[in-house]
Amino acid sequence: MTYFPEEVVEHIFDFLTSHRDRNTVSLVCKAWYRVERLSRRNVFIGNCYAVKPGTLVSRFPRIRSLKLKGKPHFADFNLVPPGWGANALPWVEAIARGCPNLEELHLKRMVISDECLELLARSFPNFRALVLVSCEGFSTDGLAAIATHCKWLRELDLHENEVDDRGEWISCFPDSCTSLVSLNFACLKGEVNALALERLVTRCTNLQSLRLSSAVSLETLSRVILRGPQLRDLGTGSYVHDPRSEPYLNLASAFMACKSLRSLSGFWEVTAQCLPAVYPICSNLTTLNLSYAASIQGTELIKMIRHSRKLQSLWVLDLIGDRGLCVVASTCKELQELRVFPSDPSGDGSAASVTEEGLLSVSMGCPKLHSILYFCRQMTNAALIDVAKNCPRFTRFRLCVLDPRKPDPLTSRPLDEGFGAIVRSCRELRRLSVSGLLTDKVFHYIGRYAQKLEMLSVAFAGESDRGMQELMEGCRRLRKLEIRDCPFGDAALLKDADKYETMRSLWMSSCDVTLQACQALAAKMPRLNVEVISDDGDFAGGAVCQVEKLYVYRTVAGPRDDAPAYVWTL
């Protein structure tokens, strides 16, 4: 192919959409490397510390879209102290200098300040899409800057971020802004200017996705929907009103006009008697997220489910109960993804919950189910074995038994066999989270059978180093491994040091790893960053003391220069 002109090669590369394919072709020869790097439009960086911003910009000067991930996954559960890093500013600064044509930026678990948002808004004249997931460090002032300066903004998606409320910002979208296709500010807490919102929806005729925050009243919702009947994805605000009132009746008739609505979420606060307005839409829904609706009782949930025969993705709280999951199983035959969250995570167990029965009935009733996140009070081996038989097509299986180290209540045995059945049966499994009482045996099974596994989360499991060793030996495709509160120590950590260069990252907290072993790992593998975290910044205790938290990741950028005092890069 070297006798084709470069434009032709570039055109051929345009058909390669996956990052992995493009990475591969760039390795073939220098000519292809050059063509590929100059024509690359999208870059995904799974760990922002794996490479320096400057490197990105010099290799790919023409990128239009960048997706970056920052903190380790367990930061979501407060295991990473504040100030850890993952700052977006160096990236935005570098790209502002080198790639002025940037159109899209996706950040996950990163820290982004208002100043950075302002820089972003002013530096990229063609900027179209900003997606922030689980980020923090900014306020509504930064959002106001985006609204004000990004003339061609199509997408502003704020998903589960920590945002400071500094005032109204929706009114900062100029009258000339008509390009919005997707606006999600569901995670915000501050007040919303209802009139500005209505006007915005009216003039953005291409708006397809709108997710409102809990500050938006039902009245405003009904007016907004009237102006946006073409919506495909809606997140309600606060769904509270007198069901005999005019705004509610208006809402009900507005909903009838929304023929395109396929995805529904929100329901931050709910008046149950107002739910019937939603039933006509339910029959067309493919995605339903009721996982924020702590005030919808099981019976009401079930009524909604009965109307939603076409669901493909359902997120719900465990208030639905096993009985409700039975209804899901008999109604939602197209279901592919199910997430059941705990309604009372720190409670004493007296609240509603689901058990192995709910999971079992869904596995029997929904033949297309392949992705599950399930928080339950108990699980049995028998149920897991049946689930494995019923659903051999799981790609993501995350099970969280709320009581750590809880055995099978029927037999009092560990859940090794149950999970073993899952990995044996589900050949395409890419993501797995295990819980309950587990010995080293489960890791033997995972290492042996889960050949396509890419991400594994382990908590309160295992008995000895052997567990982790079998895991490391077996799972060839493993990319992310996160472990907490397991008795894995130095031997396990050091058994296969080379493997860490094939992985994105390893997290170990409250295990039995000593500082000495971490130092040994760091010495052996210069292309890994071995970061030890001590919550109170105190690293005294010597080499044989156990490290609280360990984060190991491969990198070509060397040790990072923005680590806080409580992080020690060995």
Partner 1 sequence: MDGKRWRVDDSCLGLLDLIPNGGDWIESEDQKLQLRLGPPGGEGSSELSLGLPHRAASAKRGFSQTLGIEPVGDGIAPPPAAAPFVGWPPVRSFRRNLAPCSSTAGPPPQNQKQETRSKGMFVKINMDGIPIGRKIDLSTHDSYQKLSSAVDELFRDLLAEEGRSIPGLLDRDGGYTLVYEDNEGDRMLVGDIPWDMFVSAVKRLRVLKSTNLSLSRRAASH
Residue 368 in the binding site for partner 1 (CB under 8 A) = no
Amino acid of residue 186: A
Task: Residue 361: name the closest of 319, 331, 318 by CA.
Answer: 331
Among residues 200 and 317, whose Cβ is nearest to partner 1? 317
Q: State the minimum distance, in angstroms, from the CB of residue 284 to partner 1.
A: 27
Amino acid of residue 277: A
Residue partners of 410: CB distance under 8 A and separation at least 6: 380, 382
Q: State the minimum distance, in angstroms, from the CB of residue 173 to partner 1.
A: 14
Is the torsion defined by CA of 370, 107, 193, 126 positive or negative?
Answer: negative
Among residues 35 and 508, whose Cβ is nearest to partner 1? 508
Taking CB under 8 A as the rule, which mask of x and - marks residues 334-353 in contact with partner 1? -------xxxxxx-------
Exposure string (b/e) for 71-96, b if CB count within 10 Å is 16 or more? bbbbbeeebbbeebbbbbbebbbbbb
Q: State the minimum distance, in angstroms, from the CB of residue 435 to partner 1.
A: 9
Residue 78 in the binding site for partner 1 (CB under 8 A) = yes
Binder among 404, 487, 499, 569 for partner 1 (CB under 8 A): 404
Among residues 172 and 207, whose Cβ is nearest to partner 1? 172
Residue partners of 519: CB distance under 8 A and separation at least 6: 530, 543, 570
How deeply is 540 buried, as exposed, middle or buried, from its count of CB atoms within 10 A (0-12, 13-18, 19+)?
Answer: exposed
Among residues 36 and 482, whose Cβ is nearest to partner 1? 482
Is the torsion defined by CA of 357, 361, 364, 367 positive or negative?
Answer: negative
For residues 468 and 497, the answer to whether their CB atoms sit within 8 Å is: no
Task: Residue 49: name the closest of 505, 543, 397 by CA.
Answer: 505
Tabulate helix, strand, coil % of the chain (nearest 5).
35, 20, 45
Binder among 295, 312, 555, 569 for partner 1 (CB under 8 A): 295
Q: State the minimum distance, in angstroms, from the CB of residue 402 to partner 1.
A: 5
Q: State the minimum distance, in angstroms, from the CB of residue 269 to partner 1.
A: 6
Residue 148 in the binding site for partner 1 (CB under 8 A) = no
Binder among 7, 76, 246, 562 for partner 1 (CB under 8 A): 76
Residue 89 in the binding site for partner 1 (CB under 8 A) = no
Is the torsion defined by CA of 378, 381, 385, 386 positive or negative?
Answer: negative
Residue partners of 567: CB distance under 8 A and separation at least 6: 84, 85, 531, 532, 533
CA atoms of 509 and 320, how far apart (whole Å): 33
Residue 91 in the binding site for partner 1 (CB under 8 A) = no
Binder among 160, 246, 428, 562 for partner 1 (CB under 8 A): 160
Taking CB under 8 A as the rule, which mask of x and - marks residues 9-48 in contact with partner 1? ----------------------------------------
Check residue 412 and give left, alpha or beta (phi > 0: left; psi -120 to 50: alpha): left
> Scanning residues 200 to 239, which ones bind partner 1 (CB under 8 A)?
217, 238
How deeply is 523 buried, as exposed, middle or buried, from its count of CB atoms within 10 A (0-12, 13-18, 19+)?
Answer: exposed
Task: Residue 373: name the closest of 315, 323, 427, 333 by CA.
Answer: 315
> To which H or E segment does residue 493 belong?
helix 490-494
Binder among 93, 269, 473, 496 for partner 1 (CB under 8 A): 269
Residue 375 in the binding site for partner 1 (CB under 8 A) = yes
Q: State the minimum distance, in angstroms, from the CB of residue 345 to partner 1.
A: 5
CA atoms of 371 and 385, how far apart (whole Å): 17
Among residues 272 and 557, whose Cβ is nearest to partner 1? 272
Binder among 19, 166, 203, 430 for partner 1 (CB under 8 A): 166
Among residues 141 and 512, whose Cβ is nearest to partner 1? 141
Binder among 17, 27, 77, 540 for partner 1 (CB under 8 A): 77
Taking CB under 8 A as the rule, which mask of x and - marks residues 487-506 in contact with partner 1? --------------------
Among residues 217 and 313, whose Cβ is nearest to partner 1? 217
DSSP string over 126-142: T--EEEEES-EEEEHHH
The region of 96-104, 186-194, 520-528, 561-569 touching partner 1 under the rule CB under 8 A is: 186-194
Among residues 21 and 242, whose Cβ is nearest to partner 1? 242
Residue 457 in the binding site for partner 1 (CB under 8 A) = yes
Residue 74 in the binding site for partner 1 (CB under 8 A) = yes
CA atoms of 76 and 84, how far apart (whole Å): 13
Residue 538 in the binding site for partner 1 (CB under 8 A) = no
Binder among 79, 383, 421, 518 for partner 1 (CB under 8 A): 79
For residue 210, the cross-strand partners are 183, 234
Task: Residue 320: name the closest of 263, 362, 380, 278 by CA.
Answer: 362
Q: State the minimum distance, in angstroms, from the CB of residue 418 to partner 1.
A: 19
Neighbours of 449 (CB within 10 A): 20
Taking CB under 8 A as the rule, which mask of x and - marks residues 432-451 in contact with partner 1? --------------------
Amino acid of residue 524: K
Task: Residue 428: name the closest of 371, 364, 470 by CA.
Answer: 371
Q: State the minimum distance, in angstroms, from the CB of residue 197 to partner 1.
A: 14
- List residues near partner 1 by CB under 8 A: 74, 76-79, 134, 140-141, 144, 160, 162, 165-169, 187, 189, 191, 193, 217, 238, 240, 269, 271, 291-292, 294-295, 317, 341-346, 375, 400, 402, 404, 457, 459, 484-485, 536
